Amino acid sequence: MATKRRKRTGRSSKAGNEKLIAAIITVLLAIFGFAYNGVNSGFGKKRAKTSNSKKNTASRSTNTNYSNSTPIQNPTILKGYQAIKVSDGDTINVQKVENGKFTGEIIKIRMFGIDAPEKSQDYGSESKQALEKMVNGKTLEIEEKNRDRYGRTVAVVYADGKNVNEEMVKNGNAWWYQEYDKNDARMQAYQENAKKNKLGLFGKRGYVEPWNYRREKKAAATGRTKSK
């Protein structure tokens, strides 16, 4: 009888061991499954974040001069200013004049709706000189539009009541910047007339729009960098 009792105990012990092993395997499988799902979840989030980052980068890469502009709250026409520096045919620095003296902050103006040839571009020097002639020594009014990504005030400039932005296009000393001043029929007419009569830069052969010139220059610089 004692022998039979021992055999039953052995079978019971063996069955208990099998149950224990099965339980351990179940726990290990559960742990492995949890870890696997966690890794996949993290990878998915990372992939989504990377994808969104690429989309944002692509969006930013299309930005140009007026992009990322900040609207000016309660824009007004600033009066009593004079030019203290002309950088090129569409960019000037101005400062308030009171009692014959310059006062207050210097404002850097990027002229709205026009794009002049770059200084390193053909007709760049002539464009700058044309703007200097129109603004130097004149009383200026500044009609603010917004601020661009460089912190410049994008504005229409008036010299003794005359719209300088329009005059620059009218005389062929700058391009109408159609991309940022759409549906301006008057500017379009001024530019078409300047082209027709070969005024200013349109009197030269092979003229290149400044935005295309900048793009080509940037592409060339990128190509040189990659070739190194």
Whole-structure pTM value: 0.67
Q: Does domain 70-213 have CATH number 3.40.50.12280?
A: no
Give the residue among 124, 119, 115 at the shortest CA–CA distance from 180: 115
* Residue 2 reports pLDDT greater than 60: no
Q: Which of 110, 144, 147, 166 is catalytic?
A: 110
Are 159 and 193 in contact by the 8 Å Cβ rule? The answer is: no
Q: Which of 144, 147, 152, 166 is catalytic?
A: 152
Respond yes or no: is residue 47 known to be catalytic: no
Q: Which of 118, 144, 166, 167 is catalytic?
A: 118
Respond yes or no: is residue 152 known to be catalytic: yes
* Residue 106 reports pLDDT greater than 90: yes
Domain boundaries, the chain: 8-41, 70-213
Are 114 and 157 in contact by the 8 Å Cβ rule? The answer is: no
pLDDT digits (tens, 9 = 90+) for 3-16: 444 444 455 555 66
* Residue 56 reports pLDDT greater than 50: no
Which distant-in-sequence residues (6+ apart) come within 8 Å of 90 by Cβ?
110, 111, 114, 115, 116, 127, 131, 168, 174
Q: Say what percent of the chain tops pLDDT 70.
A: 70
Respond yes or no: is residue 6 known to be catalytic: no
**Between 70 and 102, the higher pLDDT residue:** 102
